[in-house]
Amino acid sequence: MTTSSTVPVRHVRLPRAEVGLCLLFLFHVAHAEPTRIIGRVVAVADGDTLTILDPANNLQHKIRLAGIDAPEKRQPFGERSRQHLAHLAHGRDATALCNKIDRYRRRVCKIMVQPPDCPTCDKPLDVGLAQITVGTAWWYREYAVRQSENRPLCPYRSKRNLPLNSPRSPPPGVRSGAKLT
């Protein structure tokens, strides 16, 4: 006959001051102002990742555009998506509003630049929204919570989309770990 020994469960009580400090910290982190980076776009890796040089402290920040996903360089339309982002942002002064760091240690930001076709316009261009508008990036509903108030609440598309097998919807298995050949 075997007997199983049970380990008694002990509850740890935290002092009220520690609980209060933890809650205050979590509230502050949840409602913190986004980090603002002002600099020049010096590189475009793909349709949703770029690098900004911050001249104030001579640092380069690798940034992923918030709320969108674009094809990787080796996927269909990946190079076209990268080229469009480069046309919009490369070599331009940019303002990045960052509120997160992803698992690859990139900042996740909303990027605003002066529109390439209107250098004297007062309103800056949201490059993530521009990528979605022309059809070179995808908008995912699960990213909607992370998007700013200026973003559409539904997928916004223009009439000028890519051909039939374009990134209107991501290919099956692209983000589930499937390998591309």
The set of catalytic residues is 64, 72, 106
Residues ≥6 apart with Cβ < 8 Å to 36: 95, 96, 97, 98
* Integer Cα distance of 174 and 165 in angstroms: 14
**In which band, very low, low, confident or very high, does the pLDDT at 5 lie, cut at 50, 70 and 90?**
low
**In which band, very low, low, confident or very high, does the pLDDT at 170 lie, cut at 50, 70 and 90?**
low
Quickly list DSSP for 76-105.
Answer: TTHHHHHHHHHHHHTTSEEEEEEEEE-TTS
Q: What is the pLDDT of residues 59-72, one digit of tens each?
A: 999 999 998 999 98
**In which band, very low, low, confident or very high, does the pLDDT at 122 lie, cut at 50, 70 and 90?**
confident
CB 108 within 8 A of CB 116: no
Q: How many residues are there in the chain?
A: 181
Rounded to an integer, the average pLDDT of 117-135 is 89
> Given this model, what pLDDT does residue 180 score?
40
What domains can be seen in the chain, in order of their start residue?
A: 34-146 (2.40.50.90)
